[in-house]
Structure 1
Amino acid sequence: MRSAVGELTNNGRVIGIAKDFVISPSHKGKAKYYGLFGNFLFSQSDFEQHYVVRVEPGKVEQVQAKLSDTILSVQAERDIIRVQSMTERLKNYYSQDSGLASLFAMLSLLMVLVTVVSSFAHAHFHVTQQRKFIGIRRALGARKKDIMLYVFSENWLLNLGASIIGVATMIGLNIALSQVITIDKPSVLLYALAVFVVFAAGSLATWLPAYKTTKISPVIATKTL
């Protein structure tokens, strides 16, 4: 197999090959490393060209300030749109993805907050409605940890049902989106993490009502029976 340098193609003669160079970072697999640069593109007056300048550490701002004047001193008719560091370039390139990630992170936090508030309100309401029943159980010898386990078990059953519905909905949306756009399958760890967060948030919110339930006196609770 001989080198392609010097060979004639439909887009002109091959004058060089660059190796170990990422062309399209967002592409998958080998597609990110392959690209064709033809003379027909560079000959267009409105075609943008990008130059990469290697700078010693700590001298980025100093070089940026002088780079435009240096280029214009060689070719004054050039139009320099912008001079930016690679850090700024990457930040701008991934700005939309970062914004979406921040939005989804905020929505996730709001959903966790809703879970906490809902779990606390349900546990508090349930304890209030079951006050007499809990008093009877205390009078029959139920220990404080038994009462707390009773309150937590109902919360865990609700969380289990909600988790099953949520995971099923997530799988359904993923399948529906895969018919329209290319999307990766969520890993099992993501499902497990989501279920764990729901259980942890619900249990944390239920702890205070459950603890207050253990303070119910059997005598006070059974007076109205």
Structure 2
Amino acid sequence: MTRVLLASRNAKKLAELRRIVAAAGLGGIEIVGLDDLPPFPDAPETGATFEENALAKARDAVAATGLPAIADDSGIAVDALNGMPGVLSARWSGKHGDDQANLDLLLGQLSDVPDERRGGAFVCAVALALPGAGGEGGEGGTEKVVRGEWRGTVIREERGANGFGYDPIFVPDGDDKTSAELTPEEKDARSHRGLALSLLVPHLRELL
């Protein structure tokens, strides 16, 4: 059994990756999270892009644990805010990880924006780093970074309880449900993170 670390303490992200690995038939891979291992210091997310942050987190996790590591950085990019909150999505309100405060602030900033200009996208970059990886862009194919985007519209009131973050105010293009009203399986098949993780599956298969 090959252990692969998802460098996250988010139980929903962990469950999502485990579902995708199982659906891909990668029975020889065991996904573990940060709570399954001894703690190590979290590096600050100082990158200018989702890709930079994801790769930095994956590299730190490999260095600390010696395990192949997956890390993601994701957020919402709103057209009317010139792509913000972007990489600042998780700390948009000033405190990292306060989902409700972040959501409330975003809704307040968009309160006078008409419906036809409330478009945006969820964006997710996922990095895979293997022990021995290093150098700018990785050496010897030991680092991979993939990106997924999910277009939609930011609505004015929260709906649904299945998601997290900005899910309750995001309606994907072509749907009338918010991301938080979709089933986990529906979200896996369509979301920014589901798409990015699926793009990573061939590289995970190489570990076997």
Give the TM-score range, shorter chain.
under 0.3
- Name which structure has the greater RCO, CA cutoff 8 Å, separation 6+: 1
1 or 2, which has the higher helix percentage?
1
Give me the TM-score of the superposition, normalised by structure 2: 0.24
Give me the TM-score of the superposition, normalised by structure 1: 0.23
